[in-house]
Chain A
């Protein structure tokens, strides 16, 4: 898969649920349909729950990857207003 360049990035390292999702959701809301959001986080639980909640809200999860001992990167495409 070719490297995807996000339109917006949020760093939510240090946050726990539900603020991880709240911040990610506010970021998605501020974007246009079709744009891609990159989320950097270090709360393992949120690496599962954010993709699940984003899909439940109609957004498209492109990538969920652990990039080092503590951090995860998610890529979410805004599919729905």
Chain B
């Protein structure tokens, strides 16, 4: 790939890295990444991947921007309140780096559309805020063989893991079923420290770039847990479960499932 003079300047701190170079930057420019959720996690993941020069970035979210989002969702602003989140984020990301093609998709993902929505992408990022979506994305990635960089946040704690179908565990190997709705914190309880998605989203973006570059080690078979109150990072080994209902030897889940609503999706 021939870089323009502006691109050489823009990506110079990448090109200098032995693990990236011009060739790695060209890989980044050729990559196609889809982010589910343009909220707390989707904003920083998308922002950094845009800065990094990822070729095509799709954003899937059906919400609109509200004032209560702005405590943590850094791609949105008072000027974009009321606008679809995917359009608000596209505006911000385009202003940062017009090289990147941002594809805004304002739909609610379901078992009927998810496979089509992720089909044309190399890597899937889960920045969703609810269990039904998290399990749907996991199952769809297992079924279509796509690497999934998963992130989750609540209160002062966040988790990241990278799920590689075929060679590593999937989300159901960790937690077989979503918790019953009654056990999920209600909206009033579901606070989150505003900076937490920045930390977790930053880690997810780093995982995506390593997958694109084929360098380093991703969090395969490991769950990284960050505790912002204690400032601790913990890694928990997560083995592949041979009797996992979706990626095991005899999977019982062969079709996608839309879990019933009743889960709280905090705004």
Q: Which residues of B contact A18 (CB under 8 A)?
A: 12-13, 16
Instruction: Please tell me the size bucket of the interface on A.
Output: 10 to 19
Q: Is B3 an interface residue (CB 8 A)?
A: yes
Contact among A23, A29, A56 with B21 in the assembled complex (CB-CB below 8 Å) = A29
Q: Is A52 an interface residue (CB 8 A)?
A: no
Contact A22 B12 (CB under 8 A): yes
Contact A25 B21 (CB under 8 A): yes
Nearest Cβ in chain B — how far from A32, in angstroms? 14
Q: Is A4 an interface residue (CB 8 A)?
A: no
Q: Is B253 an interface residue (CB 8 A)?
A: no
Tell me the dominant secondary structure on chain B's binding face: helix
Q: Is B22 an interface residue (CB 8 A)?
A: yes
With contact pairs A26-B3, A29-B23 given, residues A19 and B18 touching in the complex (Cβ less than 8 Å): no
Q: Which of A55-70 contact B (CB under 8 A)?
A: 56-57
Contact A19 B22 (CB under 8 A): no
What is the total number of residues of chain B having a CB less than 8 Å from a CB of chain A? Answer: 11
Q: Is B15 an interface residue (CB 8 A)?
A: yes
Contact B8 A23 (CB under 8 A): yes
Q: Which residues of B contact A25 (CB under 8 A)?
A: 15-16, 21-22
Contact B16 A26 (CB under 8 A): no
Which residue on B lies nearest to A30, using beta carbons? Answer: B22
Q: Which residues of A contact B23 (CB under 8 A)?
A: 29
